[in-house]
Structure formats: C-alpha cells, structure tokens
Amino acid sequence: MKRIIFYISALVVMTGYAVPAFSWGQKGHRIIAEIAYDNLNRKSRKQVDKTLGKHGMIYWSNWADEIKSDTIYPDSYDWHFQDFDGGLSDSTVVDALIHYPNEGGNLFRALDSLVKVQRDKEVKDKVHTLRFIIHLCGDRFCPMHTARMDDKGGNMVKMKWFGENTNLHTVWDTHLIESQGYSYSEYARKLERQYAHEKRVIEQMTESELLLQNYHLTEGIYAYQAVWDGNTYHYIYRWRQPMEYQLYVAGIRLAKLLNSIYK
Ligand SMILES: [Zn+2]
C-alpha cells in the first residue's frame, strides 16, 4: 500500500476545473469494460476477477467518477482528462505522451503511474489501481477528454439537444450514447459485431497513432460546430459512428493493456 501512495502522491495537480467535467457516462464505461472483458485472455480474466472480487470489471468501471468528491484520492479529479489547444502539430500532440503537459489535466501521467503500480510485483494491494485503470483507459478515448483547454473540455460550449440546454462535453459523454436506446450489454455486442474486422488493426496501432486519431476527431467535432444547423437528428447522423468506434477502440485497448500486464 505504501508504494501505491508513493506513486499516486507523485502525481501533480495541474489545473482546477471550475465546471464539472465527467467522463464517458456510466453506460459508456460499462460498454467499454464489457468489450474489454470479452477480449481478455484466460490468465488476465482470472487475475482481474481475483483482484476485483465478485462484482467484476463492469461494476467497477465507474468507481473512479464516483470517488471524485471523496478525500481518498484528492488529486484524482485531474486524472480523467488531458486537454489540448486547437490547431497543434502532430509532433506537439504526441509529445504529451512522453513529456506530460503542465496544464490541461493529468490523464497520461496518471495512467502511466497506475500501470506501473499494477505491474509492480512487490505491491500487494492493487484493487484501487486496477479500478482506476479500467476507467481512465476509457476516458482517454473520449474525444471531449482530449478537447480544448479554453472551453473546459467542451463544457463551456453550449448546445441544444432536442430543445434541452446542454453542452458539447455532455453530448459526447452521454447524449449520443443514450440516443441509441441500447442497454450497455446490447451495445457491447453490437459494437463487437460491427467492428470485428477492425480489431487486429486497432490492437496493432501505436499509442501515438491512437492519440493523433483521437485529437483529429476532436478537431473535426469542433469544426462541425460552425456548420451544424442545430438539428439534433443531423448531429446524431453525423457523429454516431465515430462515437461508437471510440467506444470499441477503448474496449480493445483496455483488454490489450490488461493482457500485457498479466502476461
Ligand atoms: Zn472519468
């Protein structure tokens, strides 16, 4: 436990969000966890089940959001996002994976530290770190968690969703997913069928390629705000598939990460 505290306390609080910035909504994280669990090898599954106990991965996939207001990990609010300015060069974006930026969140640094703890054979209690990894590995593929700093990750971008006031961040965390009306397990099954042919490619992509893919998606989302006619159906038609692809990528990459930890 001491070592966990050491690693965790080494994480630095970089920014303070004045506006709530949640992650993929509860359903998004459950979809990602279910896809990941389906793609774990036998050894990893056994380890994950043993570490998390009877409730398992899907149940714990939202724990990191639920404890944000708890004092147990006071710095963890910043671990859920890594925002950027718009219009950056690819090399500047990719650099964030190595030289963690001083502002805009702490997602990359936190995830790397948590994975180190999970790999450390001398650490006995790995329950909390595993719960964090399951959640944060999902957040890193949510486009509004690598969004703009100046609008608080899309939280300041006002939108109407079927006449109701909301914002860009919440549209991507929750409304787009909920607009499809599936349960989390129905959605996981659907995406596993829909993207089965892409699984190998996604597994083989580098971290840099994945981050750039995510960043360019986010840039496209911002650009669309200027041309969108305000019709919610048009928004769903344009962005449903990119959102679904991100959920699938997150599930496959979480499985890959856990399989590499328990190999
Ligand atoms: Zn989150």
Which SS3 state, helix, strand or coil, does residue 236 take? helix
Which SS3 state, helix, strand or coil, does residue 182 take? coil
Question: What is the CATH class of 2-261?
Answer: mainly alpha
Rounded to the nearest whole angstrom, what is the distance from the C-alpha of residue 120 to the centroid of ligand 1? 24
Domain ranges of the chain: 2-261
Rounded to the nearest whole angstrom, what is the distance from the C-alpha of residue 191 to the centroid of ligand 1? 21
pLDDT of residue 16: 36
pLDDT of residue 23: 64
Report pTM.
0.91
Rounded to the nearest whole angstrom, what is the distance from the C-alpha of residue 154 to the centroid of ligand 1? 15
pLDDT of residue 61: 97
Rounded to the nearest whole angstrom, what is the distance from the C-alpha of residue 185 to the centroid of ligand 1? 20
Rounded to the nearest whole angstrom, what is the distance from the C-alpha of residue 89 to the centroid of ligand 1? 26
- Residue 130 tokens read as 């595993």
pLDDT of residue 22: 55
Rounded to whole angstroms, the Cα distance separating 70 from 74 reads 7
Which SS3 state, helix, strand or coil, does residue 167 take? strand
Rounded to the nearest whole angstrom, what is the distance from the C-alpha of residue 46 to the centroid of ligand 1? 25
Q: Which residues of 246-260 are buried (b: 16+ CB within 10 A; e: fewer)?
A: bbbbbbbbbbbbbbe
- Residue 82: partners with Cβ closer than 8 Å, 6 or more residues away: 96, 101, 104, 105, 106, 107, 108, 140, 145, 146
Rounded to the nearest whole angstrom, what is the distance from the C-alpha of residue 135 to the centroid of ligand 1? 6
Residue 131 near residue 62 (C-beta atoms within 8 A): no
Rounded to the nearest whole angstrom, what is the distance from the C-alpha of residue 153 to the centroid of ligand 1? 12
Rounded to the nearest whole angstrom, what is the distance from the C-alpha of residue 139 to the centroid of ligand 1? 5
> pLDDT tens, 105-136?
999 999 999 999 999 999 999 999 999 999 99
Closest by CA position to 40, among listed 188, 203, 259:
259
Rounded to whole angstroms, the Cα distance separating 255 from 137 reads 10
Rounded to the nearest whole angstrom, what is the distance from the C-alpha of residue 102 to the centroid of ligand 1? 19
In this prediction, the residues of the chain whose per-residue pLDDT falls under 50 are 1-3, 5-6, 8-21
Rounded to the nearest whole angstrom, what is the distance from the C-alpha of residue 129 to the centroid of ligand 1? 14
Rounded to the nearest whole angstrom, what is the distance from the C-alpha of residue 58 to the centroid of ligand 1? 14
Rounded to whole angstroms, the Cα distance separating 228 from 257 reads 37
- Cα–Cα distances in Å, from 15 out to 44, 73, 181? 35, 16, 35
Rounded to the nearest whole angstrom, what is the distance from the C-alpha of residue 21 to the centroid of ligand 1? 8
Rounded to the nearest whole angstrom, what is the distance from the C-alpha of residue 18 to the centroid of ligand 1? 16
Residue 107 near residue 39 (C-beta atoms within 8 A): no
Rounded to the nearest whole angstrom, what is the distance from the C-alpha of residue 147 to the centroid of ligand 1? 14
